[in-house]
């Protein structure tokens, strides 16, 4: 947070894209707010305007907008509670009469401003996207590049069958997929300290099956694509379509 001497200067930072919010608090805000808290029925229009906290926001990013807004609401709630206690009232009297009694599904952390743990809620979809997309891209170029380099023809001349070539590539990819899933889960849990809900083996198997789908679809693309350009476009279309379905589901 940075302090500016004038409201116009603060708003200009939002216009220039250097800040998400500009918070304007009048010079006589404290006195006006005290009058508003003591006797709101006799509050003049000028004092009412002076007791407001005015926001000038950049709405181009909804997540940043809501995150900062919830933080401001949380800070304001703490401020109102401290004012109520200074007047001799219990702080519960100025809180909203809406209380979260029980969380049925999903993580909830009351210590956070909104109680919403964004990182742990975003992680499952991100892990699935990483595990699915990386093997898809890798396997979609496998046969194409070998065909371009003449490796496939030499393999068939040496007496290998198509099913043997397919199983060999599949075995290498699924073994590498085990390492990939293990590393992704290790980084997510140990470095970023993300929570794993439920048995670890079930999380591992589900991510592994998502990666296996990417491997099989990638090998199908690689088998029917005549060159790298077709394989790249096909992979891009499938990835974008999968992400579109994910966004629609959310």
Q: Is the confidence at residue 109, as pLDDT, over 70?
A: no
Q: pLDDT at position 64, please?
A: 78
Spatial contact of 178 and 215, defined as CB atoms under 8 Å apart? no
- Tens of pLDDT along 15-42? 888 888 898 888 888 888 778 777 777 7
Q: Is the confidence at residue 107, as pLDDT, over 70?
A: no
Spatial contact of 175 and 212, defined as CB atoms under 8 Å apart? no
Report helix, strand or coil for 231: helix
Q: pLDDT at position 247, please?
A: 44
Kindly report the length of the chain. 250
Q: Is the confidence at residue 82, as pLDDT, over 70?
A: yes
Q: Is the confidence at residue 248, as pLDDT, over 50?
A: no
- Tens of pLDDT along 60-79? 877 777 778 888 888 888 88
Spatial contact of 105 and 200, defined as CB atoms under 8 Å apart? no
Return the closest-CA partner of residue 54 out of 11, 23, 76, 92: 23
Q: pLDDT at position 242, please?
A: 57
Q: pLDDT at position 65, please?
A: 79
Q: pLDDT at position 118, please?
A: 65
CA 8 to chain centre: 33
- Tens of pLDDT along 127-182? 888 898 888 888 888 888 888 888 877 887 888 888 888 888 889 889 999 999 99
Is 0.85 topped by the overall pTM? no
β-partners of residue 13 are: none
Q: pLDDT at position 32, please?
A: 85
């Amino acid at each position: 947070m940075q302090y500016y001497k004038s409201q116009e200067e603060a708003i200009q930072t939002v216009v220039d894209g250097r800040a998400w919010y500009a918070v304007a608090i009048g010079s006589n805000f404290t006195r006006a707010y005290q009058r508003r808290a003591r006797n709101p029925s006799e509050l003049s229009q000028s004092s009412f305007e002076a007791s407001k906290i005015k926001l000038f926001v950049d709405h181009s990013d909804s997540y940043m907008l809501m995150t900062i807004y919830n933080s401001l609401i949380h800070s304001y709630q703490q401020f109102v509670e401290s004012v109520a206690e200074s007047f001799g009232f219990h702080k519960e009297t100025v809180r909203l009469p809406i209380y979260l009694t029980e969380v049925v599904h999903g993580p909830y952390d009351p210590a956070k401003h909104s109680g919403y743990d964004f990182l742990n809620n975003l992680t499952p979809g991100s892990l699935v996207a990483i595990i699915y997309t990386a093997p898809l891209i890798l396997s979609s170029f496998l046969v194409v590049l070998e065909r371009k380099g003449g490796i496939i023809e030499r393999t068939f001349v040496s007496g290998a069958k198509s099913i043997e070539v397919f199983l060999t590539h599949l075995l290498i990819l699924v073994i590498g997929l085990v390492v990939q899933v293990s590393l992704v889960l290790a980084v997510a849990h140990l470095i970023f300290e993300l929570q794993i809900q439920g048995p670890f083996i079930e999380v591992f198997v589900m991510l592994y099956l998502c990666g296996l789908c990417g491997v099989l679809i990638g090998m199908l693309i690689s088998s029917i694509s005549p060159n790298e350009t077709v394989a790249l476009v096909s992979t891009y279309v499938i990835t974008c379509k999968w992400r579109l379905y994910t966004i629609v589901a959310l």
